[in-house]
Amino acid sequence: MSNRLVGRSILRFFQELSNKKKMLFLLILPVLAICAGTMVQKSLMSEHSDDTSTELHDEQPEISMAETIMKALSAAYPEQIGPAEFRRQGEDQPHDEGEGDWAFPIRGKWFYYAEGRILPEEHIGQAAEYRAMGFNRNYPVELPSWESTAEQRASRTRNMEENRSAQRTESRQSPAQITRRSHYFYEALWNISSRNEAWEQMAEIDFLSQTITVHSDISRILSLVEEAILNEAKTNFAVRQWIDSLGTIACWNWRNIASSGSRSFHSYGIAIDILPKNLGGLATYWLWAARTNSQWWNIPYSRRYHPPDEVIRAFESFGFIWGGKWANFDTMHFEYHPEIFILSNIPMVDFRD
């Protein structure tokens, strides 16, 4: 029915009413209008409430640091680590968040986040004896410019040196009070807990015309890195020249990190040091440089030994971090840590079948 017909019908109805009914109708009409307006307003508010409720329902809960790191580790080492889940200790089934921790299985044993320590269930009670792993979530794609990081570099490195010196002093006074990185996670990951066990996991491979000893799990990955470097060398004179200049390439070496109680990743056969025949006076390792230069942290990039950028990218594209990007620089050093690239949202080559 058109608006004009509706209007005529209302007018005819009004004319047929008695004066008293007309007066009553005029009194009731504003009340009806208010009621109608209120109903419309409630309807609109209900629709808005539904929309808001839907929006809130669609919002994803904030992901915790524990979940982020444990899922990154699980994705980085799918052949060794099972899926990460939130669980209570001693339970076989995952559950909703509350009391519990993020965990994953390695070779049938459950490991828990434990505030970054990554400990097996039976050692959760000794968490205070170990420091957090400190997984880097901001690995730089490019080497930061020297000028932009000067003040930060100086302050951070001095603090690190002061802490290191204090730890050495405390270690002599009370060795039991010094926390170190737990070995349990990496021992389970690489199936190594002693020098003899490490040797059983090693394999010898040819790498850039030298024979090196590495963990068998990364032998194929290093071969892919070598292939990328050699392909680049076909058209890149600087890379070809770098290969020809190489002196020593070392990987497996059972030892602790210098000036620390933590085991070196060389012990697991997943770190590699590449040195030229002659450094030509360039610095390559902060601890060596510190012996003759008290301001070793301020040695410019131009006075440090750096492999060609294409070589660094070849290693990084397959999950190796480069020590030249550390504050305590180690420019000859590469370590296999694909989880760092996952956490830093840096793509890698997908080499798995």
- Binned at pLDDT 50, 70 and 90, residue 155 comes out as confident
Listed as own residue / partner, the contacts of 164-173 with beta carbons closer than 8 Å and 24 or more positions apart are 164/259, 168/259, 171/261
Q: Which of 73, 106, 131 is the last residue of a domain?
A: 131
Angle (CA) 310 312 318, round 5°: 105
221: closest CA among 77, 23, 27?
Answer: 77
pLDDT above 90 coverage of the chain, percent: 59
**DSSP per-residue codes, 202-259:** EEEEEETTEEEEEEGGGHHHHHHHHHHHHHHHTT-HHHHHHHHHEEEEE-----BPTT
**Among 45-49, 137-141, 184-188, 219-223, where is mean pLDDT lowest?**
45-49
* pLDDT at residue number 28: 52
Residue labelled with tokens 């009370």? 174
- Residue 193 placed within a domain: no
* pLDDT at residue number 256: 80
- Binned at pLDDT 50, 70 and 90, residue 158 comes out as low
- Give tens-digit pLDDT for 135-151: 999 999 999 888 766 66
Q: 309 and 244, same structural domain?
A: yes
* pLDDT at residue number 139: 96
- Residue 91 placed within a domain: yes
Q: 152 and 118, same structural domain?
A: no
- Residue 328 placed within a domain: yes
pLDDT above 70 coverage of the chain, percent: 70
* pLDDT at residue number 166: 58
* pLDDT at residue number 10: 52
- Residue 40 placed within a domain: yes
Query: pTM for the whole thing?
Result: 0.77
* pLDDT at residue number 144: 86
**Host domain of residue 30:** 3-58
Coil/strand/helix, residue 308: coil
- Give tens-digit pLDDT for 329-341: 999 999 999 999 9
Q: What's the total number of domains in the chain?
A: 3
Q: 167 and 259, same structural domain?
A: yes
* Region of residue 9 (phi > 0: left; psi between -120 and 50: alpha; otherwise: beta): alpha
- Give tens-digit pLDDT for 235-271: 999 999 999 999 999 999 998 876 666 789 999 999 9
- Residue 194 placed within a domain: no
- Residue 197 placed within a domain: no
* pLDDT at residue number 148: 64
85-87: strand order across its sheet? 85-87, 101-106, 109-112, 119-120
Rounded average pLDDT over 125-132? 90
- Kindly state the tokens that stand for 28: 């009731």
Q: 124 and 7, same structural domain?
A: no
> Side-chain half-sphere of 157: how many Cα atoms within 13 Å?
19
Q: 242 and 268, same structural domain?
A: yes
- Binned at pLDDT 50, 70 and 90, residue 4 comes out as low
Whether 202 has a pLDDT exceeding 50, the answer reads yes
- Residue 196 placed within a domain: no
- Give tens-digit pLDDT for 164-196: 665 555 555 454 445 678 899 999 999 999 999
Q: 118 and 34, same structural domain?
A: no
* pLDDT at residue number 180: 77
* pLDDT at residue number 336: 98
Q: 332 and 225, same structural domain?
A: yes
81: which residues sit within 8 A by CB, 6+ positions away? 73, 74, 104, 105, 106, 189
Q: 317 and 218, same structural domain?
A: yes
- Which phi and psi angles does 4 have, rounded to 5°? -65, -45
- Residue 187 placed within a domain: no
- Binned at pLDDT 50, 70 and 90, residue 54 comes out as very low
312 vs 66: CA distance, rounded Å: 30
Q: 117 and 30, same structural domain?
A: no
* pLDDT at residue number 73: 98
Distances (CA, A) of 203 to 92, 188, 278, 335: 36, 18, 28, 17
* pLDDT at residue number 57: 47
Q: 50 and 75, same structural domain?
A: no
* pLDDT at residue number 258: 67
